[in-house]
Structure 1
Amino acid sequence: MIESWRWYGDLDAITLDEVAQTGASGIVTSLHDIPYGEVWGAQAIATRKAQVTQAGFDWVVVESLPIHENIKRGTGDLPALFANYRQSMANLAAQGVTTICYNFMPLLDWTRTDLHAPVKGGGTCLRFEAVRMAAFEVHMLGRTDAEGDYPPQVLAKAAVWFQQASEAERGALLASIMAGMPGAFDRYDIPGLRNALQAYAGIDRAALRANYKRFLDEIIPAAADLGMRFCVHPDDPPRDILGLPRIVSDEDDIAWIMDAVDAPANGLTLCSGSLGANPVNDVPAIAARFADRIHFAHLRNVAKDPDGSFEEAAHLDGDTDMIALIKVLLDEEKRRRAAGRADHAIPFRPDHGHHILSDQTRKLIPGYPLIGRLRGLAELRGAIRALEHGAA
């Protein structure tokens, strides 16, 4: 497996010199300053690749080549957007960057209600609190029908929280939820978020799937021609949010995607944390079913509560059997080697991490600390080496 590290370029306070000390050999990055829908120019890609390679790394995965919201909504000048997307793909392929992680989550990327939840022993983690999310949707956003998405006991606690919360606490909740807006663009206040959600009015699960199928039909043949592999990232959290449908949340969703365009280029980013937040998901079993279509892995763990809340756990703790999951990935690599595939190794990165020690004094991207992810990488590396030793 290829040990990798997500790096946000000029937006990242963590330097590549620091990343080198983690032992990772691959970099996972993107061009976060380019507005969605515009072409990633050949020179911009070459400049980013030079940054990575001159620091001693390989650029192993693009995360992400974002999908414009008009594609998700099925509106606007779609032929131009698809053409721009394919041109960006071609420019990446020309630089030898051939694995692209992406998501099809409407409007929001990952969603959390607390960016600094305390963890045992000190430090903080990302947390999704069902009560606070209900308070936000019902009492702050005033979304119609939001009450139907939460059980009565959660709604009752949400009302109490909202009544007792200060303006600062409500503002912090909004800021935490907006932290999941991808890239360097688009942060909303309450009126702005209402307007953005209105653009999705009438788009249900079936409509979003149809728009996704159109995207796959336009992009996957081009990916195959370019020798590229696309890998969809599961929804985070794997449930409808703000009345927006989520369509990459469980095993059935993944099966639909893989069948929609049945080609090796149409693959999966196996994110154990996103899938693990859904109580119905058996993450090692999902990995085993779709092993031949896994092009990239995010390895992290979550601990779930009965009310739908969850938080980031240490990488070898939490509710997912990480050892069983890693074994599935190693077995798939062995199968690929036996089949003579030169690209048998699966890149992975330690996803998220607790903010511990000096992470807490630096201005870092939420969920992406240095020492917390270094701890996760070290734990995962140890598990991988032990399993490899046992197999040998």
Structure 2
Amino acid sequence: MKKQMKLVLYIVFTSLLLISCSDDSDSNPVDDNGGKKAVVKGRVTDNDGYGNGLNKLSAGIEGASVTTAEIQSNGTLSTTSEANVQTNTNGEFAVNTSSTGKSNVVVVATKGTSEWKALISSSITAASDNYCPPLNNETIAEVDVYSEVVADNKAQIVGYHDVAFHVSSQIAAKIRSNIVTKTEVKNAIVSKVEARAAAFMNTHYGYSNAQYEEAKKVDEDSQKEFERDLYFSNDNEASYRAVWEKYFNARVSGYSNTSIAMTHYAQSEEISGKAMLKFNSNIESESMFELAKRNAYLKAKLIARAMIEEHDKAGGDQQHRQNVEEENNNLLLAIRNSSSISGINQAYVNYRSAIKANVKSSFNTIATSLTIIEAAIETTIKTSLDASVAAAANIQSLISAYTTFYAGVHTTVNGELNLPNSAQVEAIANMYALMYMHN
């Protein structure tokens, strides 16, 4: 009887021990010191990236060896995972890493002579799973370009979100084919980010470094959510497009909660985007278009929000507000469907024409004065802007060209409109500046 009791107790104890071990073998295993290990989850895919043209469900890469790494100051990678793991039949993996508390951790996958990389901008935590965006040809280029940013000692200025935003699947393909270099793309991104910061802190706007950091935090937070959304996406074009739209909208909404005016976000995007293209004109034309298109789309999103805000401040009615919203959508669609820089330019010309007509219809009691303002902008102020932009030799002179234009529009509107409500005059001036600034 005692032997039977011992046997029963042994079975019960063994079962409890197995259950306990099973409970600990979750996605965040316990290390030798009793602490949770950080686990990174993701998948390796065979697609080119997250852009248009991916009309198939991507296949996972089975049997790839996956590790994690951190980018060193010279741009090289230092492995931080204890051991590599193999991807399953769907290309999925869960790899332990010692990079707890670190951000911008790189996931590296290899199979034969092939290698894939992707970066997680969120801080790695052992408290929950960490999600890596699907590894593909686009993420390889993003990591490579960002590694050059780090090696060039520009990481304090240029964040990974800046690189991920600009390196599309098309840009990645150009880099892979040696049509454009990683250094050229890096230099273009650096030009844009430096111009944006300089514009915000120019005396025309007078924002502080702390206020600029608010904008950067929005960018960083939007990128982190973007990476998580990509992890949970379906790896097809429709799914990626939805993730991109959510990302763009998150940035715009996030900006609206900062101390920087939405109109100024739109204006700084015009300035910085122009700096990127103007001061990196050696970049191959199709690559230049890809950079221009993504910037034009974000700028259109910012203009759309700013134009509605200014319309409301000016006292426009609901019907004309709906007209603005419709033209905003038309602009976004035209840019998304554009296939050349000239197509992007024409989209903005069409938008300007439609918004001009809507403003004069909305504020028909001052339509004559608005016509005079438009003539002054088109014959003098805008012409001067175009000439100054063309002649600008550096970022500061480019910023000066735009801020002189913005100030000129405001001076003209204030001089022509004799309205008792100064806020209304200011809003109308901002609407005209937004209409005409595209260069």
Higher relative contact order (CA 8 A, sep 6+): 1
TM-score by length of 1: 0.28
Rg (Cα) greater in structure: 2
More strand as a share of residues: 1
TM-score by length of 2: 0.26
